[in-house]
Structure 1
Amino acid sequence: MIPTPDLSHLTEQDKLHVYDPAEDTFLFLDALEQDAEDLKGEKPLICLEIGSGSGCVSAFIGSILGSTNTLYLCTDINNRASDCTHRTGRHNKIPLDPITCDLARPLLKRLQRSVDIILFNPPYVPTESEEVLSAQLGRGISGSWAGGTNGMEVTNRFLETVEALLSERGKFYLVTLDGNDVPEIRERMFRAFRLQCQIVAQRRAGIENLHILQFSRVNR
């Protein structure tokens, strides 16, 4: 088993402002570990995590890929999350490059069809639209969970950009729950962008049924 990244450097104050790894994070790590050999075999050059939070997921995939030439880009709207991500990379000897921004907005033109691995554990909890707007503007910890209508308002914005970012051999991993309407997401991404999807992991966590979706191009 691949060890979970060491987050002992994060303080209690950090955890008041940045999402602390939970069941969805650990399911994400399990899915990536399950695909570890395939991911290493692809020799990815660019890995992009959206909403990196503590940096746990990016540090984990860095430990999977080992000593490579991979560039690990990590975005988050929360400046404190970017700081935690940087420190998590340093603490675990993985060269993470955090960028404080909205989703992948400043990277879209530079990274067109060049990202080999995209990772996104989005704010997927259904809330009022006003709550997700406030959370995104506030750029604090509520931005890590408040998802708006069907928990999909933030996710939908990013899904529109995935095809433009993903390399020909790329894989996109997305965390969802039942309330996000997984069949609709899969059908829409195939119809609009010709991205095929498989559910690579799922687990019940309390009242939630979590899924990890993996998307890739049909012509792979």
Structure 2
Amino acid sequence: MIQLYYAPGNANLAPHMLLEELGVPHELILVDRDNHVHRGAAYRKLNPNGLIPVLIDGDLVLYETAAICLHLADTHPEAGLVPPLGSAERAHCYKWLMHLTNTVQAEMITYFYPERMVDDAAAGAQVKAHAEARLAQMFDLIDAELAGGGPYLLGAQFSVVDPYLFMLARWSRMMVRPARNRPALGQYLERMAARPAVVRAFAAEGIAAPFC
């Protein structure tokens, strides 16, 4: 059985939602962040970066959320979570997944941990504010993409990129202008939150509605 190491609402949420969408039997293993279990030697044997999540699938031990999501899509091709190999749609799938993980998520890390970017703690607030402004522009871009197509990020078909976007949009919920405060993106998030697999994933992680 697949095992997913998680902490509620962390970067495990995207692959967790995919596991629920796929209906794949899996075991959730809680990583106690409050007691810094993810920094301990035992967990670092699974992920030397000390980050969540880790997925174990047979002999495979895999970390990096985007890689886990692609692995789940590739090992369950019948679900159609990625477009056909070599297609333009597949290329756009790669584009959006890379944008979400390398651009949006990376900026989220700056927003949540600004102290990592400065030596002077007093400058942290300014770093955080600039990160929030850049994230607002990124969510504006995604909102425009959804407004011109939809109902999902790649168009008509739900795909591997949608749980990833939903997870990142949720992380913005405490910002001055969260992702949900955009017309097309807000409607998209409502559709995602209503999916039974999403509801099950949030319930399993002990996260109550509203999800975003």
Question: Which TM bucket (shorter chain)?
Answer: 0.3 to 0.5
Structure with the largest fraction of helix? 2
TM-score, reference length from structure 1: 0.37
Larger relative contact order (C-alpha < 8 A, sep ≥ 6)? 2
TM-score, reference length from structure 2: 0.38
Structure with the largest fraction of strand? 1
